[in-house]
Chains A and B, each alone.
Chain A
Amino acid sequence: MRAASASGVWGFWFDVVRNLFGWFRLVGREFRTRRGRFLVTSLPMLWLALFFLVPFLIVLKISFSQAVFGQVPPYTALVEHAADGAVSLRLHASNYAMLLSDPLYVSAYLKSLLFASVSTGFCLLLGYPIAYGIARARPSMRLVLLVLVVLPFWTSSLLRTYALMGILKANGLLGQVLSAIALVEPGWGILYSDAAVYVGIVYNYLPFMILPLTATLMRLDFTLLEAAEDLGAKPWHAFMRITLPLSMPGIIAGALLVFIPAVGEFVIPDILGGPDALTIGRVLWIEFFTNRDWPLAAAVTIAMLVLIVAPTLLFEYVENRRADQEAANT
């Protein structure tokens, strides 16, 4: 009995693992065929469809309904079956009209874009020299440095943001140090200000800038810099004409990795920002949890997505066309 039940449990996992290996084998064998390629791409496609596309469509659907309070779910149905058997589809555009008409939303979007773009700029300025240093370090040292960059992730972002409160508040650690060297008056602090939000975002997202930059800079052939100097370029010119253009893929990847989540960031402006640091993330929270207006919250989300995705897609399109043209020249 016992043996049978054990074989039942273990047999199940055994089958799972075996099927998984079978799948890999199949993919490996048919990798070059159409079917093989389809199998390889089907897994990420399925994942994205289940966990991105379907939720997105649900949110999109909700954004076109109207809020109804006191019922579950708290919004009107999009598709209704009338008594006479007809099916009616009701789309409410009022939520989107609201986003445009109420200056609160427009200013929240602008504020979010400002926070995100300035923070991305600071991350780049801080992250580039760090990434350059890591890329040029000895391989053994490089690993240590990379671990140190990632190490803060071992602690929850929320905890680290709360810790920043203690540093940035009036008479906090930063204020004490700066007043000790007589740079500021005692009692100085920047908590609950835009500056604190910038500090928080830059601190939290810096690794996302450093990692892709390091990867790109590590692939850079440093003989190219020697060649540039040999041809008469001073170190600064060699950097501007060789290193910087060749590290562009890393800069773009890092900037997107920082910019996109920073636009929707809720926790950092909520904890560190003042009342006027009203970002799109905070507006979303208020609409959803305080006002319980699901459709409006959904519309805010969709608008934010369009705002972020549009430039990304445009960039992808331009980049692909450039790559295609280059390939066509061959």
Chain B
Amino acid sequence: MNATPGNPPATEPWRDPAAQPFVRIEGVTKTFGKVYACDEVTLDIYRGEFFALLGGSGSGKSTLLRILAGLEQPDRGRIMIDGVDVTRLPPYRRSVNMMFQSYALFPHMTVAQNIAFGLRQDKLPAAEIRDRVQHMLELVRMPQLGDRKPHQLSGGQRQRVALARALAKQPKLLLLDEPLGALDKRLREHTQFELVNIQERVGTTFIMVTHDQEEAMTMSSRIAVMDTGRIVQVSTPAVLYEYPATRFVAEFIGGINLFEGRVLSSDEDTGMVRIQCDHLEAELLARHTDPLPEGTAVSIAVRPEKIDVHEAPPPRGTVATENVVEGRVADVAYLGDVSIYRVKTASGAIIRVQETHVARSSEPHYDWDDTLWLSWEAASAVVLTA
């Protein structure tokens, strides 16, 4: 899959209307008692993607993954993989393999036997099994450890064996259930890149379930955000971050300020919307592509890093000062690379602001009770109606 400039569909097949999805999830519904784990989920995933299902616990992301693996049967709907309807196929007849959250390594078998398990089921010749096992061990960079038992491995090694075992059968589709969930923070960051690296080398389509938005952003080509069994938004990480479709997505992905308000007027030509924000007791400007009728209840979402901080009232009339709010510093958190300020306005609202430390300094720039003026561009604000 060589991406050539001017030919974006090769790397972004979801933009190409002619591209055939590799995995089609059509109207899949699954209930447990009265709870909808998956509610009319429809999703297309393309060959070679590293796709993430992102959501909190109970969002239905794991159930959807288990339905793809064949470990659960949907009540309604259809699963197509590579053009074949697999909805009613048992797990052992699908060329889909899964890496379990608990890894589910067989404790009575060695690492090599674990990796060979799937190949043995296919009755491959012994010599070929040996070669494939060795190849997989090298892929996950532990060629010497084939004779170990799972209990003799570290958490990170177990994770790699689980990956090798799931990839050994060269599945069309690999499912990963919270693949980094059991690792500590340092190892997790390292493994994120390694996993992406391996995916690029083997070229298999990966679908990953995670509750960690950072993990999803770092690793995946596209993310589907799920909430209570429904898919809320499917996009690339950047679109998801900059153009969240709903309040839920805006709050789930990264930190954000949300201000409630009503539309005063909206200019169809410039896309500029004037909003009365009771929360801040101010009039705010924001850009929105579709015209909004007057009086529509909306939320304005502004990322903390998109807000500029001034120690004196900034001159009005520039693009950068389309929105200005005055407040006092209520909290300061120094995080090394950045400082987070919580600024309290006269109306009592709290605005999160992030300042990057470009120059070396041992002190945050502003102190408690400093009066600050916050400003942001109309284009930085997202207007949310849902």
Contacts and interface: CB of A to CB of B under 8 A. Distances in A.
Given A232-B122, A233-B92, A234-B92, A226 B149 contact: no
A230 to B, nearest CB: 5
A87 interface: no
B97 A245 contact: no
A226 B71 contact: yes
A233 B104 CA distance: 15
A246 B149 CA distance: 14
A324 interface: no
A227 B177 CA distance: 12
Interface of B: 69-71, 90-92, 96-98, 100, 102, 104, 106-108, 117-118, 121-122, 147-149, 152, 165-166, 169
A329 B91 CA distance: 35
A84 interface: no
Given A224-B106, A226-B104, 9 more contacts: A221-B104, A224-B104, A227-B106, A230-B98, A231-B165, A232-B92, A329-B148, A329-B149, A329-B152
15 contacts: A224-B106, A224-B107, A226-B100, A228-B117, A229-B91, A230-B69, A230-B70, A230-B92, A232-B92, A232-B118, A232-B169, A233-B92, A241-B117, A329-B149, A330-B152
Q: Which 6 A-B residue pairings sit nearest by Cβ, starting from the closest?
A: A231-B118, A232-B121, A227-B104, A223-B104, A229-B91, A230-B91
Contacts of B117: 228, 231, 233, 241
Contacts of B148: 329
A25 interface: no
A314 to B, nearest CB: 22
Interface string A202-237: 000000000000000000010110111111111001
Contacts of A233: 92, 117, 121
Contact of A231 (B71, B152, B169): B169
Interface of A: 221, 223-224, 226-234, 237, 241-242, 245-246, 326, 329-330
A228 B113 CA distance: 12
Given A242-B106, A246-B107, A230 B149 contact: no
Contacts of A242: 106
Main secondary structure on A side of the interface with B? helix
B104 A229 contact: no
Given A242-B106, A246-B108, A231 B121 contact: yes
Contacts of A245: 108
Contacts of A229: 71, 90-92
Contacts of B165: 231
Nearest to A227: B104
Contacts of A241: 117
A227 B100 contact: yes
A231 B97 contact: yes
B178 to A, nearest CB: 13
B344 to A, nearest CB: 49
Contacts of A223: 100, 102, 104
B149 A237 contact: no
A5 to B, nearest CB: 61
A230, A232, A237 interface centre (most CB from chain B within 10 Å): A230
A305 B271 CA distance: 95
A330 B149 CA distance: 9
Contacts of A246: 107-108
Contacts of B152: 329-330
Contacts of A226: 71, 91, 100, 104
Contacts of A221: 102, 104
Nearest to B175: A230
A224 B165 CA distance: 13
Contacts of A326: 149
A198 to B, nearest CB: 33
A326 B147 CA distance: 11
B162 to A, nearest CB: 9
Contacts of A230: 69-71, 91-92, 96-98
B121 A237 contact: yes
A173 B220 CA distance: 70
Nearest to A330: B152
A310 B213 CA distance: 61
A99 to B, nearest CB: 42
Nearest to B148: A329
A141 to B, nearest CB: 17
A232, A233, A234, A237 interface centre (most CB from chain B within 10 Å): A232
Contacts of B122: 232
A237 B91 CA distance: 13
Contacts of B147: 329
A112 B71 CA distance: 48
Nearest to A242: B106
A326 B149 CA distance: 9
A223, A227, A233, A237 interface centre (most CB from chain B within 10 Å): A227
A329 to B, nearest CB: 7
Contacts of A224: 104, 106-107
Contacts of B107: 224, 246
B92, B100, B107, B118 interface centre (most CB from chain A within 10 Å): B92
Contacts of A228: 106, 117
A136 B121 CA distance: 25
Contacts of B70: 230
A30 B149 CA distance: 35
A242 B69 CA distance: 19
B189 to A, nearest CB: 26
B90, B100, B107, B121 interface centre (most CB from chain A within 10 Å): B121
A231 B104 CA distance: 12
B153 to A, nearest CB: 10
A232 B168 CA distance: 12
A232 B124 CA distance: 13
Contacts of B102: 221, 223
Contacts of B91: 226, 229-230
A227 B161 CA distance: 13
A246 B150 CA distance: 14
A233 B92 CA distance: 6
A237 B90 CA distance: 14
A234 B121 CA distance: 9
Nearest to B149: A326
Contacts of B71: 226, 229-230
